Amino acid sequence: MPIQRCTVHKHRNLLAHAPKHMQDELAKDDRDMIHADTAADIETRRKALLRKRGLKCRAVADSLKDAGYRLFTFIRLDPSQWKSARTTTAIERLNEDFRRRIKTQTMLPCAETVPILLWALLASGQIQMRRVGGWEALSQTLQPMLLDLAA
């Protein structure tokens, strides 16, 4: 199962590795890379960022390389889903709401009850999936990974 690392958390991590005088420029480069329109454009900007930061700040380049393909799993989805898939904020919010709703229950009967309870909370409107776009294209298969990780 493909895993998507949160681009917002990685962005913060990259800034933490950069000296103060580089942070504004790095933030712009990272945002431009993550929010590019096509997978090919993302790949081009990623290579440029690695080249540029590899010379000036090795820790930033290493951190970006460590994230690997898991930072760019979203490019395998339909572009309508990219906005929601790039960050884990919606998922974290959903988990937080779910935990808050079941906090009063000390034990669930079995593991199968969790998705049933989640669906019931979603269907009743007690939990809302805000900011999750592109759901219309969820039935489409994943695209092959186009990212050259050897860059």
Which has more pLDDT, 87 or 22? 22
Domain finish residue from 51, 85, 119: 85
The CA dihedral of 93, 97, 103, 109, to the nearest 10 degrees, is -100
**What integer pLDDT is reported at residue 36 of this predicted model?**
93
Kindly state whether residues 20 and 66 are assigned to the same domain. yes
**What integer pLDDT is reported at residue 135 of this predicted model?**
54
- Closest of 3, 4, 13 to residue 62, by C-alpha: 13
CA-based radius of gyration for the chain: 19
Q: What integer best gives the mean pLDDT of the chain? A: 80
Q: Three-state SS across the chain?
A: CCCCCCHHHHHHHHHHHCCHHHHHHHHHHHHHHHCCCCHHHHHHHHHHHHHHHHHHCHHHHHHHHHHHHHHCHHHHCCHHHHHHHCCCHHHHHHHHHHHHHHCCCCCCCCCCHHHHHHHHHHHHCCCCCCCCCCHHHCCCCCCCCCCCCCC
Q: What percentage of the chain has pLDDT greater than the value 70? A: 78
Please state the domain count of the chain: 2
Kindly state whether residues 59 and 117 are assigned to the same domain. no
pLDDT digits (tens, 9 = 90+) for 22-73: 999 999 999 999 999 999 999 999 999 999 888 888 999 999 988 888 899 8
Say if residue 97's pLDDT is above 50: yes
Structure tokens at 6: 């949160």
Kindly state whether residues 117 and 54 are assigned to the same domain. no
If pLDDT is split at 50, 70 and 90, which confidence band does 1 have? low
- Closest of 62, 58, 60, 43 to residue 145, by C-alpha: 43
Which has more pLDDT, 71 or 121? 71
Domain that holds residue 98: 89-133
Kindly state whether residues 43 and 58 are assigned to the same domain. yes
Q: Which residues have CB under 8 Å from 17's CB, separation 6+? A: 57, 59, 60, 63
